[in-house]
Structure 1
Amino acid sequence: MSLERIGIYAGNGILPVKVAENIVKSNKKVFIIAIKGLTDRNIEKFPHQWIRFGQIGLAMKLLKKNNCKKLVIIGGAKIPNFFFLFPDFFGLKLFFSLFTIRKRGDAEIIKTIISYIENKVEIEIVGADNFLEEILMTKGNLTNTYIKSSNINDIDLAIKTCLEIGNSDTGQACIISNGKAIIVEDINGTDFMLYKAIKEKNREISGGFLIKMPKPIQDNRVDLPTVGLNTLKLINELGLDGIVLEDKKAFLVDKEKMIEYANQKNLFIYGI
């Protein structure tokens, strides 16, 4: 039998590549399921197979064939979409499992997919955080600019707001300014919320911060909050003071560039 590999179901962005690189650095084998028109082509330097949307059955067969006992699901796409576009037979069966919860949010759908893969296919889902420790958020300040006392005072409100929208499975983030929750994330994501806030900017926003936390109802092995340089640029354009993230529960894509930019613009990146 071939050596055991760790599988990666790769969405878009650079994180699937980073996961693969770190798996290889740890002297483990990797095999990547890449989605046509979505996954970064840099994954081609690793063992991989390109499939189209919806071919979840083929994906599982390939993972089994390559002796993948564990699977990392990582990338920027909304995972449920993979199963609704031209599904193969396995994808169709999964579709019927999801049909009864179709009106719920991403967290419930993703948990159903995880359960199906682990129980029906017998492949264990593992969190990408196991392989991306260097870009995980840590507690305290990451930047030269420290969080203001007024922002510290608003953190309880921020956490409460995130818990409320998280429990309703609508989003992971919100903007807090001057003791008020200004806007909350919906299914369109964090950057969409920030663009909307910039477009509709009002006098209530003067300083403040973006906070992003996992939903209380989600499985943290998939879809941990992710922020990048563009997020910081939007925060700066909006006039916020910085960003608050949960310790060990958020990824900072291009972490060094984010810290450099934050220092240039006097923004804080703070872990709670």
Structure 2
Amino acid sequence: MARLGILAGGGALPPAILQAHPDAYVLTFAGVQHLMGPDAPVFPIDRIGAIYAALREAGVTDVVFAGGLSRPALDPAQFDDDMRALAPHLLAAMQQGDDAVLRLVVQTFEDQGFAVRGAHEVLPALTAYAGLVAGSQPTDADMADAACGFEILAQTAALDIGQGCVVANGLCLGFETLQGTDAMLRFVSETPEKLRHAAKGGVLVKTPKAGQDLRVDMPAVGPDTLRAAAKAGLNGIVITAGNVVVLDRPQIAKVAEDAGVFLWAAEPQA
């Protein structure tokens, strides 16, 4: 019988998956702040062979990568044989961007005989159906800004830069880069009023890049994202249905009501 292994990063997603799959085997990585408790085994990524061995010893057949994980600082002196074999390919992939790195990681675990599952596959309720998820109905102006944001992200997808942007009255106020969504929203919140006089309100648009492997890099929004959007003066967040993780919906509903913002799921772009 299949057993799930959760390779846990930071944030609320790994605990949510564990709650749904209490028999899963959990491990996390050295240097990663996580919510899996003190008993979760910790492995340095430099010794990836030990990770394979631990998964096999635990009877794991399927693995899911869940939670935030930044690029690790690798120490060649600590490499085991498996990492030494992987390192040249990993370094080459890093020069091509995050998508290339994630594709290599998936291929590596598949080559070891593990089936790689997406968080949305092991916890289907994570994503949203098209329509209003929380808050009040977005206006026509909000939807026009969302359409502009989707177009911006579609045009930049091949550059492998980010998964989100902020648009207000047709003006792009921020674009997600390596620093992530929270940093982008802080940047938007700090935009001087004189530059935003014609860009009141606005929306955060969040969607996967074209060709992105959703098994290991699905965008996510949660209550903190909605709070940050409200603090940045936005009217709400627009995501794509079925391919963005929505965390802690009861709390999202409360934040939306308290802050007067919305979360809307649009049909994926053709």
- Structure 2 partner of 1:31: 25
2:13 partner letter:
L
Q: What's the offset of the Cα at 1:44?
A: 5.5
Q: What's the offset of the Cα at 1:141?
A: 0.7
- Structure 2 partner of 1:253: 247
- Structure 2 partner of 1:72: 64
The secondary structure found in structure 1 opposite 2:24 is strand
Give CA deviations for 1:56-107 in whole Å, capped at 9, x if unaligned. 11001111122211110111112x4276684433223222112223222211
Gaps of 5+ in 2: none
- Structure 1 partner of 2:15: 17
Give CA deviations for 1:171-211 in whole Å, capped at 9, x if unaligned. 00000110122221111111111111222343143111001
* 1:164 and 2:162 aligned: no
* 1:56 and 2:48 aligned: yes
Q: In structure 1, what is the Cα distance between the partners aligned to 2:255 and 2:133?
A: 12
Residues 165, 204 of structure 2: 8 Å contact kept? yes
* 1:102 and 2:100 aligned: no
Aligned length: 262
Give CA deviations for 1:241-268 in whole Å, capped at 9, x if unaligned. 0000111111222221111111122111
Residues 83, 95 of structure 1: 8 Å contact kept? no
**CA RMSD in angstroms, aligned pairs only:** 2.0
The secondary structure found in structure 1 opposite 2:27 is strand
- Structure 1 partner of 2:212: 218
Q: What's the offset of the Cα at 1:42?
A: 3.3
Residues 70, 126 of structure 1: 8 Å contact kept? yes
Query: For 1:101-250, what aligned pairs fall within 5 Å after superposition?
Result: 101-119=93-111, 121-201=112-192, 202-203=195-196, 204-250=198-244
Change (3 A) 1:82 1:135: farther
Residues 163, 215 of structure 1: 8 Å contact kept? yes
Gaps of 5+ in 1: none
Give CA deviations for 1:119-169 in whole Å, capped at 9, x if unaligned. 2x1111100112333332221112241101111223322111112232211
Change (3 A) 1:104 1:133: same
The secondary structure found in structure 1 opposite 2:21 is helix
Q: In structure 2, what is the Cα distance between the partners aligned to 1:184 and 1:14?
A: 24
1:55 partner letter:
R
Q: In structure 2, what is the Cα distance between the partners aligned to 1:251 and 1:142?
A: 12
Q: In structure 1, what is the Cα distance between the partners aligned to 2:11 and 2:207?
A: 20
Q: In structure 2, what is the Cα distance between the partners aligned to 1:60 and 1:8?
A: 13
Q: In structure 2, what is the Cα distance between the partners aligned to 1:225 and 1:237?
A: 21
The secondary structure found in structure 1 opposite 2:218 is coil
Residues 136, 251 of structure 1: 8 Å contact kept? yes
Q: In structure 2, what is the Cα distance between the partners aligned to 1:64 and 1:95?
A: 22
The secondary structure found in structure 2 opposite 1:142 is strand
Q: In structure 2, what is the Cα distance between the partners aligned to 1:58 and 1:262?
A: 44
Residues 134, 252 of structure 2: 8 Å contact kept? no
The secondary structure found in structure 2 opposite 1:186 is coil
Report the more deviating stretch, 110-119 or 82-91.
82-91
1:215 partner letter:
K
Residues 83, 92 of structure 1: 8 Å contact kept? no
Q: In structure 2, what is the Cα distance between the partners aligned to 1:105 and 1:186?
A: 12
2:156 partner letter:
I
